[in-house]
Amino acid sequence: MPGNSFTLLACGDVGPIHEPIDAYSAHVRSLLHAADLRFAQVERVYSNRGSLQLHSAGEHSRLKPGMASVFEDCRFDVVSVASNHAMDWGDEALLDTIELFKSKGIVPIGAGRNLEEATTPAFVVKNGIKVAFLAYCSVLREGYAAGPSKVGVAPLRAHTYYESVDYQAGVPPRIVTAPFEEDLENMVADIQTAKKSANAVVVSMHWGIHFIPRMIADYQITTAKAAFAAGADLILGHHAHLPKAVGVYDGKVCFYSLSNFIMSARARTPDKAEIFQKRYGITLDPDYPHLPYGEDAKRSLIAKAVFNSTGLEKASFLPVLIDKQLRPEPLHLHDPRFADAVKYMEWASEYMPHKFVIENDEIVVS
């Protein structure tokens, strides 16, 4: 029956640094425009102010405000600004970015003038269904987290420990990660409060281990289960710059990484490419010099979720391949690349509870 549900399309990292900006959405514009609601992750800041922080990732993380038009081209309604680059240029650039999106009628979440503002949910009502959106970041540099009276990002940080697995000296240890207890408790409370006022809660997580295929950190699973237990219905993950597992917990779906959506970056110099490949054990794709995150960086997903008055009715994803002009292209069932994408996602999700069922051009998660 019409009016008792609505469809969300959710995408991963967006932040191209090369123009023309309006070319990137050529293959996805009509698909996104047809959805009831659209979500994406903001990978850069958009401002002419601020100063580059010494411990930041470099100048490419701040772009001219006009380059944010890519979000309008795709008609994104809600965006997470909770990224590891959000504070690369300090308070002013982040706050400018938040105000820029608001001026465009796009709701930013996950950062603000203080912790309360950064963790305030966005409520969206479509067809009588009310959904709350929250966003957090786990990959924050020192000083990037919002505080009671400090500008920054909503934090869901993690500790790292090294556990001996053998009595012999020199055997590699097991790496154990766990979320900060205070951050986890705050996230749980945020979700519980939001759920009291909404039919469903969507949680965006900028988290995990980038570039390395399939690897999921312990803290991500702990966090996902805690979020679902608190009342979240869907988790949208990103930061890894390639697709990662889909996991199902008590009927709730976690997309651990939606990958890049519309991204570009400076090509790595030969010396930096060699360091990158040795550090992460992966190969760069020479056909994609401006997507320098590994051979699987061109793979992507669009998460699709249908919500009704009781929460998440159906979750699925659309396989996407980024072309050599860095334009995301949704794949269709009879395209041989579609089968390859499904095979990859089965491999990436092998150790997670899930079942994929192909329905036309989408893969339903159950």
Mean of pLDDT values over 234-258: 97
Buried b / exposed e along 215-246 (16+ C-beta atoms within 10 A): bbbbbbbebbebbbebbbbbbbbbbbbbbbbb
Model confidence at 175: pLDDT above 60: yes
Model confidence at 172: pLDDT above 80: yes
Across the chain, mean pLDDT equals: 96
Counting beta carbons within 10 angstroms of the beta carbon of residue 124, is it exposed (0 to 12), middle (13 to 18) or buried (19 or more)? buried
With pLDDT > 70 as the criterion, what percentage of the chain qualifies? 99
* pLDDT tens, position by position, 199-224: 999 999 999 999 999 999 999 999 99
Element (H, E) at 277: helix 270-280
Mean of pLDDT values over 281-305: 97
Counting beta carbons within 10 angstroms of the beta carbon of residue 182, is it exposed (0 to 12), middle (13 to 18) or buried (19 or more)? exposed
The C-alpha atoms of residue 214 and residue 209 are separated, in whole angstroms, by: 9
* pLDDT tens, position by position, 55-73: 776 778 999 999 999 999 9
Model confidence at 3: pLDDT above 70: no
Residue type, position 308, single letter:
N
pLDDT of 57 reads 66
pLDDT of 60 reads 85
Model confidence at 1: pLDDT above 50: no
Model confidence at 4: pLDDT above 70: yes
Model confidence at 97: pLDDT above 50: yes
